[in-house]
Structure 1
Amino acid sequence: MQRTAQQIHNHIKNANKLALVSHPNPDGDTLGAAMAFAEYLQTLGKEVKIFCLTPVPEKFSFLKNIHMVSQDPETFLDMDTITVLDCGDLRYAGVVDLLKNHAATIINIDHHATNEKYGHMNMVVVNAASTTEVVHNFFKFNNINITPTMATALLTGLITDTDNFSNSATSHTSLVASSELLRSGANWGAIHRALVQNKSIAILKLWGLILSRLTKKENSDMAYTYSTIKDLVQHGINDDDIEGISNFLNKLDGAKMSLFIKEIADGKIKGSFRTTSDDIDVSALAKKMGGGGHKKAAGFTTDGTIENVVDKIIDLQAQK
């Protein structure tokens, strides 16, 4: 990993125009990695642009450089290097068509076991808790100074992907990295206020509705629930406000795995699997649905209705 980190750093020092990519419906890991990386590139005097196919949730406004994120596909014009962060493949990144036949060097930095190693250079560390932990190591290997704002961005990713250090992704390396980031000046209070203390009455009412739908069929070891676009409209909140439900469901007893399904735009269904069981690999199930992720946390996006997606998943479980 250290050799790859040094190769990437050497390439970047000789590059001029660089773009960063965060995945659609961005979370704190993909954004935290991008914001810290953008600041690193700025210190080298590089021209930097950041692309994300969908808008950034307002709660991440505390991150430095967040204003740079654009949905403009022309972001990639004349770029000689494109770094994709926290994306197992270019489809998930939302750029597979935009980068088709592009001459730029692709750098792939990630921590997902299902990563397709699509870059010209790939720094993929599957035992890292988050992509920001990988980026933190990249900075350390190359003796790059981590400023307080970079540290805040990196810690945001670690808190996001470990569910505030409560899930199985939490490890001694993630805790050591977090300690080092706090020592570097990471603003724990700002992160906590934005990501943890951000539940309005309307949000909690919708959470209650979604949790009231929790179902477990007799022929399945999976509990699931769902939200619709109509739910969001009626409660006047954004899709991002219910992202935490997937991790919350991982705390339930009486089922080996959980699934949270959401209706999203264009007739699509987005699903998020979670498990705490060592004998279940939800990434394998997500991959069969066209997605991917980690053994204990994975997701997918597909066409269909909530009902037929659930039925398909239960059928896939029965085939194992």
Structure 2
Amino acid sequence: MKTDHPRDEIVRTLNSAKNVLVATHIHPDGDALGSQIALGNILRSLGKNVFFYGEERVSHLYRFLPGSAEIDSLLPALNGFDCAVALDCGDCNRLGAAMDSLLTVHPFVVIDHHLGHQEFGDLRWIAPERASTGEMVYDLAEALGAELSYEAAYCLYAAIVSDTGSFKYSSTTADTFRIAGELLRKGVKPAEVSGKLFDNFTVKRLNLMRLVLDSLQLYAEDQLAIIAAPREVFIKTGTTQADAETFINYPRSLNTVKVAAFLKETEKGLISVSLRSKGTDYDVAQVAAIFGGGGHRNAAGCKLRDMSIAEVQEKLLARLLPMVSR
């Protein structure tokens, strides 16, 4: 007997809703923000009232996304919403300080593509085989019978490019390219989006990158690379945590490196860890899970409290060295 796709109940819920809250995870990246704004745009095209929630102001790296200025950190009265949607959020704790309040909205819909997804919400569509949440939002638009605007297409294309590393990660599929092609038919210009995403350095950010890359350490015959950013480098360069978002890609780009790690001190005693790997033999999501994090096989992360960067690095080396040396 044929069973419903997880998306089908979400489609019915959104079709019947009038007032929808759309959220994503804290410290959102391009896929999270692009998916959030695009879904809201799509729902508005269907006559829905949409409120965009974000715990913090959108990073200057993503303010080029059309509609990003509408994301608001002040929650309205939640009893007025027919449903809420969380996008690209693998763990309810990543909803941030307003988690408990947000989860009082029912039905609470979750659309995510993280392999280590921690189940929450009333309705879930989890597809770890998809390269980005942006792809899933495109599918949802089709299932809703919505006509994508240029602005929604722009946001979805930015989401897909962000999470596939410009289509170079192993998660990229033929379906990824098919959807990207359809978005270009809406008038999106790849060079423009890539320029906004990747050619966006300020002098301050370049100085930050110089200091962070100077911390590079290599292990296991240059197969494991680690970089670090203590709080002092942000203060010295007048930058923010957001300015360091893509720096993990540089140690990963070394031709000998199989696994890369970026240790970032976000506040005193709190270290954020980003992990990246190449190919199918190095599952960094498993390592992140050991420390209470998660993500994908080739891209994952976690946070460790009450530790210094040196202490976190020691713990990571104990897990990562055997991985690259076997």
Asked if TM exceeds 0.5, the reply is yes
Deviations 1:175-228 (A, max 9, x none): 111111101222434422321111123322221221121113459953201112
Partner of 1:151: 153
Question: Contact 1:152 / 1:188 at 8 angstroms: preserved in 2?
Answer: no
Opposite residue 65 of structure 2, the aligned amino acid is L
Q: Does 1:36 align with 2:64?
A: no
Gaps of 5+ in 1: none
Matches within 5 A, 1:168-207: 168-207=170-209
Distance 1:66 1:262, change over 3 A: same
Residue pairs, 1:1-320, within 5 angstroms = 3-74=5-76, 76-94=78-96, 95-99=98-102, 102-217=104-219, 222-265=224-267, 267-303=269-305, 304-317=307-320
Note if contact 1:5-1:142 (Cα within 8 Å) is conserved in structure 2. no
Q: Mean Cα displacement is larger for which, 118-127 or 27-36?
A: 118-127
Q: CA deviation at 1:294?
A: 0.2
- CA shift for structure 1 position 231: 0.9
Q: Residues of 2 paired with 1:319 and 1:208: CA distance?
A: 29
Cα distance in structure 1, aligned partners of 2:220 and 2:195: 40
Do 1:51 and 1:75's aligned partners in 2 also have CA atoms closer than 8 Å? Answer: no
- Cα deviation, residue 99, structure 1: 3.5
Letter in 2 for 1:97: D
The amino acid across from 2:278 in the alignment is T
> How far off is 1:93 after superposition?
2.5
| 1:74-97 per-position Cα deviation (integer Å, ceiling 9, x unaligned) | 464532311000011111222433
Q: Name the SS of the counterpart of 2:121 in structure 1.
A: coil
TM-score (norm 2): 0.90
User: Hey, what's the Cα distance between the residues in 2 that align with 1:319 and 1:78?
Assistant: 52
TM-score, normalization by structure 1: 0.92
Q: How far 1:290 sits from its partner (Å)? A: 1.2
Deviation at 1:73, TM superposition (A): 4.2
Question: 1:132 touches 1:157 (CA, 8 Å); kept in 2?
Answer: yes
Letter in 1 for 2:99: V
For 2:66 and 2:203, locate their aligned partners in 1 and report how far apart those are by CA, in whole Å: 29
What 5-or-longer segments of structure 2 have no aligned partner? none
Distance 2:247 2:215 in 1: 12
Q: Give, in whole Å, the separation in 2 of the partners of 1:158 and 1:263.
A: 28
More displaced 10-residue stretch of structure 1: 58-67 or 144-153: 58-67
Contact map agreement 1:50 1:75 (CA 8 A) in 2: no
Aligned residues: 319
Cα gap change, 1:318 to 1:190, in 2 (>3 Å): closer
Q: Which moved more, 1:217-226 or 1:85-94?
A: 217-226
Provide the identity percentage. Answer: 27
Partner deviation per Cα, 1:53-84 (whole Å, 9 max, x = no partner): 23211232222221221222446453231100
Distance 2:105 2:152 in 1: 29
In structure 1, distance between residues paired with 2:93 and 2:11: 25
Q: Which SS does the other structure have where 1:119 is aligned?
A: coil
Separation in 1, partners of 2:25, 2:212? 25
1:45 shift after superposition: 2.3
Q: Is the 8 A contact 2:84 2:105 kept in 1?
A: no
Change (3 A) 1:196 1:221: closer
Moved more, 142-151 or 189-198: 189-198
